Structure 1
Amino acid sequence: MANLNIQKIKTKNLTWIDVSACQPKEMKYIEQKFKLHPLHINDCLSPVQRPKLDVASNYLFMVLLFPVYNRRTRKIISSEIDFFINSNTLITIHRGELSPLINFFNLCQTTPEQKEKYFIGSPALLIYELLNRLLAACNPILGNINLNINSIEENIFKGYEKRMVKEILIAKTNVVNFRRITQTHRLVVSKLLEKSSLFFSPGQLRIYFKEVIETAEDIWQNLETLKQTVEAIEQTNNSLISFQLNDIIKILTIISIIVLPISLIGTFFGMNLKFMPLANQPNAFWILFSVTGLMILFLINYFKRKKWF
């Protein structure tokens, strides 16, 4: 394993193999060493898979996705972890994007007390702690989305509706991606609890993974709330923008109607006809000016009574 991105923690009861670069050479070694099914190896090498749990003759194969926040793009992307599990071995395969997994492995590797705490009996306790840490890492991302949504709401009511359209799109996309990533966590962990009696004591798993399922449920409920909130904010923002556009159209319409009498009178008296009303009247300009002014005042008063402005 010297030239491979593979690390190992081994005790008399349990071995944890961590593959931090899912490349063909690493996967070939893992396949041959632990007699893994080629289809599962292909699943690991393929682009992001859907979360699932498969039962093989000598192990369980589990795929889970977890959210990663990209600070540069401000978007949430998914990161995959593949698990191979049997009675005394845990293999984790990932692409080095999930710090909770990396930090926990390093902690167990460098701290004898932690190794002694989690490397007892079957991998059940180790898997529980790993999943618990990965799910706990979702909370800061949820908090960041919530802060972003609150900021959007404040800016909308400060009059920055148009600027917030892009921000709403980012927040909505992040909530949708987060939901897509985590929607099957409860189902997969429940299936792990159901199928793992082949390798573990069911009592052990029921104690450990009940909390994991509850945590996944809490995350899903928070995402439901965020989804409803961002949709309500989007609807409010669209209504405000629509109201502003309608207001602008109304003002332009009023101006057009007010200007219309001036245009009509100007067009009429601009005709080059032999006999024109007021043609020989010395005060013709002021008469026309007064008539036009009265018409404008009448229209303004009419619009005010109709509460158009």
Structure 2
Amino acid sequence: MVNRYQYQDVAWIDCESPTEEEIIDLADEFGLGSILSQELMTPTPKPRVDLYPEFAYTVLHFPALRQTHGEYPLQEVDIVMGKSFIITVHYGPVPAIYDFARSFEAAILLRRSKGAALHTGHVLLELTERLYQGVENELESLEDEVSMIEKKIFSGHEREMVMAISSVSRELLNQKRSLATHHDILESFEQIGISLFGENLGNYFRAVAAFHYRVYHHALALSDTVDELHRTNDSLLTTSQNEVMKTLTIMAFITLPLTLITGLFGMNTHYTPVLGVPNDFWIILAIMAILAVSFFLYFKHKKWF
């Protein structure tokens, strides 16, 4: 599906899961060439940037929203940028692009500085800001989850938080893995854009890089927080398990002598002390109780529990 948006002399063409025929029509209209046409027909596994005589081409992968990505955690956005047009190609729904399309003209007017000539740099800047803002919103949602996990860890629910921490860590791994590739790509895209369109567009490319820097370092900081919580949770779990093992060991240490005493008095011998005298049961029970209380007081004195 191809959607066209025009304002003054600048055209934005957005293609979602385009057919081969649609790509060929665009290639004929904008002189994209057969090589680039083939690139746009299918998803590209890795980010890239290429310079053509009349336009620049780049591929970026953004983390998909959790409620939409399913088994595909990345959203690919191909950008072809010429002097009077910008083409975006994606192979699935991208909410940030839909949002930009609904307010294209108003957004460009707001982005455009007073008195400045309108060019594709305005479209690029507004589009990439929406894309990175979508990632930022996802990170803020994850940040809320991390705050909830932190509260539960320190309120005695550390065992239940193991899976929650693992889930958030996986989401952050997807975020960092996709965003980590953007720095070099955007740097090359800036150099290519300046050589193609002139230094006056340099600020727009640098602004795009600034969007990425802010979002990527937010993901890194949040990942560090989750790692710290993971270590803290592991420490609390280990401490809890050690306390359980200590309690079981003390119980075993107390019951072992008592078991030994009952075994001795249960031996089938001709003469066993105490057995047969008046109140022999209560005497043996008292001996066992005194031993148990003595061990308990000793362990308490040593502060073993």
Same fold (TM over 0.5): yes
Uncovered stretches (5+) of structure 2, i.e. residues with no partner: none
User: 1:220 is matched with which residue?
Assistant: 216
TM-score normalised according to structure 2 size: 0.87
The aligned amino acid for 1:104 is: F
Question: Once structures 1 and 2 are overlaid, which stretch shifts more, 168-177 or 134-143?
Answer: 134-143
**CA contact 2:43–2:91 (8 Å) conserved in 1:** no
Q: CA deviation at 1:154?
A: 0.6
Q: Is the 8 A contact 2:75 2:92 kept in 1?
A: no
Alignment counterpart, residue 295 of structure 1, candidates 281, 291, 298: 291
Contact 2:100 2:107 (8 Å CA) reproduced: no
Aligned position for 1:281 = 277
> Could you tell me which of 80, 96, 101 is aligned with 1:100?
96
Q: Which moved more, 1:176-185 or 1:69-78?
A: 69-78
Q: Secondary structure at the match of 2:13?
A: strand
Residue 207 of structure 2, aligned match among 206, 211, 219: 211
Q: Deviations over 1:14-62 (max 9, x none)?
A: 3322111244443344445544455544544445622221123443220
Range with greater deviation from structure 2 (282-291 or 224-233) = 282-291
Q: Say which SS state the counterpart of residue 208 (structure 2) adopts.
A: helix
Q: Partners of 1:295 and 1:127 in 2: how far apart?
A: 82
Query: Could you tell me which residue of structure 2 aligns to residue 196 of structure 1?
Result: 193
Cα deviation, residue 68, structure 1: 2.6
Aligned 8 A contact 1:15 1:90 in 2 = yes
The worse-fitting range, judged by mean Cα deviation, of 299-308 and 9-18 is 9-18
The 3-state SS of whatever aligns with 2:64 is strand
Cα distance, 1:232 vs structure 2: 0.6
User: What displacement does 1:150 show?
Assistant: 0.6
Equivalent position amino acid for 1:196 in 2: G
Within-5 A mapping of 1:21-32: 21-32=17-28
Deviation at 1:74, TM superposition (A): 9.6
* 1:84 match: secondary structure: strand
How much has 1:275 moved relative to structure 2?
Answer: 2.6
Distance across 2 between alignment mates of 1:74 and 1:50: 20
* Preserved contact between residue 49 and residue 63 of structure 1 (Cα < 8 Å): no
Q: How does 1:64-83 map to 2 (within 5 A)?
A: 64-71=60-67, 77-83=73-79
Contact 1:96 1:102 in 2 (8 A): no
- Within 1, Cα distance between the matches of 2:72 and 2:295? 55
Secondary structure, counterpart of 1:180 in structure 2: helix
Residue of 120, 124, 129 corresponding to 1:127: 124
Structure 2 CA distance, aligned partners of 1:290 and 1:202? 96
- Which whole-Å deviations, capped at 9, do the CAs of 1:272-298 have from their partners, x for residues lacking one? 222322233223212211211111112
Q: Retained in 2: the 8 A contact 1:87–1:200?
A: yes
**Kept after mapping to 2: 8 A contact 1:76/1:174:** no
Q: What is the letter of the counterpart of residue 177 of structure 1?
A: N
Please tell me the residue identity of whatever aligns with 2:10.
L
1:291–1:281 CA distance, 2 compared to 1 (3 A): same
- Identity within the alignment, %: 25
CA offsets per residue over residues 168-220 of structure 1, 9 Å max, x none?
111111211111121233322221110123431222x2222222222221212
1:131 CA drift (Å): 1.1
- Structure 1 residues 178, 116: CA separation in 2 closer, same or farther (over 3 Å shift)? closer
**What aligned pairs does 1:24-173 form with structure 2 within 5 A after superposition?**
24-36=20-32, 38=34, 40-47=36-43, 49-71=45-67, 77-108=73-104, 114=109, 122-173=119-170
Given residue 274 of structure 1, which amino acid in structure 2 is its aligned partner?
A: H
Decide whether aligned partners of structure 1 residues 29 and 277 sit closer, same or farther in structure 2, where only a CA change above 3 A counts.
farther
Matched position secondary structure for 2:285: helix
- Cα distance, 1:269 vs structure 2: 1.8
Q: Distance in 1 between matches of 2:267 and 2:33?
A: 93
* Structure 1 unaligned blocks of 5 or more: none
Residue 240 of structure 1 aligns with an amino acid whose one-letter code is: L
Check whether the contact 2:61–2:77 (CA below 8 A) recurs between aligned residues. Answer: yes
Task: Name the aligned partner's letter for residue 165 of structure 1.
Answer: V
Residue equivalent to 1:14: 10
Equivalent position to 2:171, from 151, 170, 174: 174
Q: How far apart are the structure 1 equivalents of 2:28 and 2:68?
A: 39
Counterpart of 2:151, as a letter, is E
Contact preservation (8 Å) 1:70, 1:76:
no
| Higher deviation after alignment, 282-291 or 149-158 | 282-291
